[in-house]
Structure 1
Amino acid sequence: MRRGGRHRIPGLRHVGTLAALTAFAFAALTTSGGTPTAPVRTAPAGPAAVPGRPGVGLCRIAPGAGIQMSEGMPTPVGYSRSTGEVRALNLMIDFPDAPGEGKALDRLAEFFPQTSEWFSTSSYGRLRYRPYSPIRTWLRMPLRFEEYGIERGAPYDPAYRKLVDDMITVADPDIDFSAYDLVNILVTPNAGPSALDTVLSVTFSGNAEAPVADGVPLANTSFVYSRQDDGSGTHAETGYRVLPHENGHVFGLPDLYTSEGGASVGHWDIMSEDWGVNNDLLAWHKWKLGWLDNEQITCASAPGSSIYTLTPLFRPGGRKMTYIPLTEDSGYAVEVRARGGNDEAVCDPGVLVYRVHGGIDTGEGPVTVMDSDQNSGGCTRRPNVHAELSDAPFQPGETFTDREHGVKVAVISGKQGEYRIRVTRA
């Protein structure tokens, strides 16, 4: 496939004059200009190492052997970088048996600028997510949707490989794929079943064996199909959140939901629940992505008791997480969650305690939130929020205890946005 020359709009080869001007106007809103070079994929996506704060290295768990997508650090080479400017190519596609409903730009507007704003807020401005859509109309695939046999299956199975190959063929005359860090395929919502029946949205990430376009594998590509609309009337404000979830995978984050839904983490991370009202990422994920500095993490690895002060996760700056290692690949993370930023649905602010497992794969429960008030029914009735875990945080005067490992986390106080905790290790 031939490469284009240098263009003011990243990756744009040749389109009609009006389309080119429209694309440039959109790009001008999202980037400072210039011509990006091909993305460099020779470094891990998140922090490559955790030197700096004394002892914090003891809290870094290594990626599990044979794990497809691990909570360990550093994130392996091959995923998109998660700090600095990241260029996202957006292509809207339809099919002969499912022509695009309305304008392709309307489909794009379901996700932007909300997705860029979500990442900016969650990363404290460290991820500058730049969406580009040089082709402003529906890209028609040559086969009927049903002929591709798309299911939510293994990465780049024959059905998806055929779809991606066709998408590359159709788009390649106008797009230089090497100019982008990740790709979003926004499928017309009338292709395939409703998300209430089957969620087809999927991401292929860190996959060096992906189809190649313009000399680079499309190793970090997210597909979004139908709308996650349950009829509660919230879709216009919250429907975009499927894309930050899927893009979380291109940065190396695993699924936290299990076969039981969001039962192990609930609404405390968008990699667990991406339906309904807004929510953020866990502090562990923000550290893994390089959005929290080592100086904002404390490591409770020594025996005895120590007191730590933590500030709410949504606020920039301050200490954000205390980690208590148990084994080489697991431990407890402790953080403060309160309503603010992306944490719209927090109904019971307090100290969240959860166990992280580096040796458990995506979708199999790598993170488990400790519920401070089991079988309470929770404190929220917001749509699509796992109610039972909504009041999971511990309050002043309450203690989490793991007798098996000899660990206690006592919440001493919570005043003026700062919480003091005492960690005791036998």
Structure 2
Amino acid sequence: MQQPRHRIRRHRRPAALAGATALVIAAMATASSTLPVPSRASAGPVAAAQEAGHGPCRIPATMGVQMSEGMPTPPGYARSTGRVRALTLMIDFPDAPGTEPAADRFAEFFPQTSDWFRTSSYGRLDYHPEAPAKTWLRMPLPFSEYGIERGSPYEPGYRKLVKDLVATADPKVDFSAYDLVNVLVTPNAGPSALDTVLSVTFSGNDDAPYADGVPLANTSFVYSRQDDGSGSYAETGYRVLPHENGHVFGLPDLYTMEGGGSVGHWDIMSEDWGANNDFLGWHKWKLGWLDNSQISCASGPGTSDHILGPLATAGGPKLAFVPLGAQSGYAVEVRTPAGNDEAVCRPGVLIYKVSSDVDTGQGPVSIADSTKDSGGCTRRPNVHAELSDAPFRPGETFTDRSNGIRISVLDEDSAGNYRIRITRP
């Protein structure tokens, strides 16, 4: 059976700054679904083990779906565990020359991005940014001649830009030594991110130009600055890069055409402006940052109790999953204001539906809101307020009547562990 390999283009403005979101998908190629041999080209966690009892909860990727939430991640994406070398190049243009040292642009994203991944992965991803070219790499054409706009396809503009980038950088760079590529564009090329977000990732793209014998298959481009004027850019502006790199690891966009209303600030693949936030537990399992032993699979009929510890802390049980079939299910986890989760204002049990048959940007994940229409518990800028108080507290129950599912939060102990009860037919 063949599995899709995807290339995604991301372009949007944050919900707090604009009312519309757009998503366009580039051409799709195919790749084998066979679990990859551990290598630089391996996708996901390098073949997470399939253990008895977890099969029904490891919902598979759906054929033809762009960046499916299913497991395992198809080959072609960058691996997400171990030492990952991120080639980082700073580029400018004749009509948009860099106005500051290239090292300053690099420092906007590092070491913050590496720290973010170390915290989120519990140390399982050793993210190494490397910039062998220390100065701006001047592209031969003006920025305007590449025709790069919001929603631009890979052909012809990005292909031309990548070819020119390779020709310019190749004397200084061995592209074959790296797992992924970050291109940090001089901020004065293109519009302000407040008007149009151009930052984009092309992932799993083996049709990309080759350099030193390898395709630039997983490449993220970052433009402008995600500066909302709140004075927080120095602390939060880097977060566009962990989002974009999430795509090179095979994760989809969780925001939709309507903005961040499906997931809110509960995953950086939904909202990457504003206060810091983490990945969902499902994504951490998919990426190989949680072991199967940390997952409770509630696939059998009847009632079962489960203990879950805070997602932000290493070790112990982290995720319960209630499969609804081969393509969807409910994930259950504990979120607290710790680790990367800066904006959590109502700690508790987060419940959300994961669907492997829904395309990136179309709502593959949806959060269950325990306090619907409350207006939320935060007023932080660029944080989707309504879902900020979504977690369930002890004594509260989520019910899916159509599927006969009940998820009740029974209690919380002094260590912050929650006991939940799952009932299913």
TM over 0.5: yes
Contact 1:50 1:57 in 2 (8 A): no
Aligned counterpart, 1:35: none
Aligned counterpart, 2:201: 203
Aligned counterpart, 1:171: 169
1:424 aligned partner, one-letter code: T
SS at match of 2:98: coil
Contact 2:114 2:129 in 1 (8 A): yes
Distance 1:47 1:208 in 2: 19
Contact 1:152 1:202 in 2 (8 A): no
Distance 1:393 1:47 in 2: 32
Contact 2:124 2:289 in 1 (8 A): yes
Contact 2:166 2:211 in 1 (8 A): yes
Distance 1:283 1:303 in 2: 24
Distance 2:135 2:237 in 1: 21
Q: How far apart are residue 155 of structure 1 and its match?
A: 5.2
Q: How far apart are residue 51 of structure 1 and its match?
A: 2.7
Distance 1:144 1:44 in 2: 35
In structure 2, runs of 5+ residues without a counterpart are 1-37
2:85 to 84, 87, 107: 87
Q: How far apart are residue 260 of structure 1 and its match?
A: 1.2
Q: How far apart are residue 57 of structure 1 and its match?
A: 1.5
Contact 1:84 1:128 in 2 (8 A): yes
SS at match of 1:163: helix
Aligned counterpart, 1:420: 419
Aligned counterpart, 1:28: none
Aligned counterpart, 1:13: none
Contact 1:47 1:288 in 2 (8 A): no
Cα deviation, 1:265-322, whole Å, max 9, x if unaligned, reads: 0000000000011000000000000000000001001111000000000000010000
Contact 2:48 2:288 in 1 (8 A): no
Is 1:279 aligned to 2:281, yes or no?
A: no
Q: Where does 1:33-112 land on structure 2 (aligned, <5 Å)?
A: 40-41=39-40, 43-46=42-45, 48-52=47-51, 54-112=52-110
Contact 2:56 2:323 in 1 (8 A): yes
Q: How far apart are residue 153 of structure 1 and its match?
A: 3.0
Is 1:188 aligned to 2:178, yes or no?
A: no
Aligned counterpart, 2:224: 226
Aligned counterpart, 1:215: 213
Q: How far apart are residue 355 of structure 1 and its match?
A: 0.2
Aligned counterpart, 1:340: 338
Contact 1:47 1:74 in 2 (8 A): no
SS at match of 1:157: helix
Contact 2:41 2:79 in 1 (8 A): no
Cα deviation, 1:10-34, whole Å, max 9, x if unaligned, reads: xxxxxxxxxxxxxxxxxxxxxxxxx
Distance 2:189 2:164 in 1: 16
Q: How far apart are residue 342 of structure 1 and its match?
A: 0.3
Contact 1:337 1:351 in 2 (8 A): yes
Structure 1 runs of 4+ with >6 Å offset: none
Aligned residues: CA RMSD? 1.1
Cα deviation, 1:353-386, whole Å, max 9, x if unaligned, reads: 0000001111110000000000000000111100
Distance 1:382 1:238 in 2: 13
2:420 aligned partner, one-letter code: I
2:418 aligned partner, one-letter code: Y
Distance 1:101 1:75 in 2: 40
What is the total number of aligned residue pairs between the two structures?
387
Distance 1:50 1:298 in 2: 15
Q: How far apart are residue 43 of structure 1 and its match?
A: 3.3
Distance 2:220 2:122 in 1: 23
1:388 aligned partner, one-letter code: E
Aligned counterpart, 1:244: 242
Q: How far apart are residue 213 of structure 1 and its match?
A: 0.8
Distance 1:333 1:410 in 2: 13
Contact 2:46 2:81 in 1 (8 A): no
2:204 aligned partner, one-letter code: G
Aligned counterpart, 1:267: 265
Is 1:373 aligned to 2:367, yes or no?
A: no
Distance 2:125 2:43 in 1: 15
Structure 2-normalised TM-score?
Answer: 0.90
Distance 1:242 1:353 in 2: 25
Q: How far apart are residue 156 of structure 1 and its match?
A: 2.1
Distance 1:79 1:311 in 2: 30
1:89 aligned partner, one-letter code: L
Q: Where does 1:261-410 land on structure 2 (aligned, <5 Å)?
A: 261-410=259-408
In structure 1, runs of 5+ residues without a counterpart are 1-38
- CA separation of 1:237 and 1:220: change in aligned 2, threshold 3 A: same
1:161 aligned partner, one-letter code: R
Aligned counterpart, 1:26: none
Q: How far apart are residue 47 of structure 1 and its match?
A: 5.2
Q: How far apart are residue 392 of structure 1 and its match?
A: 0.2
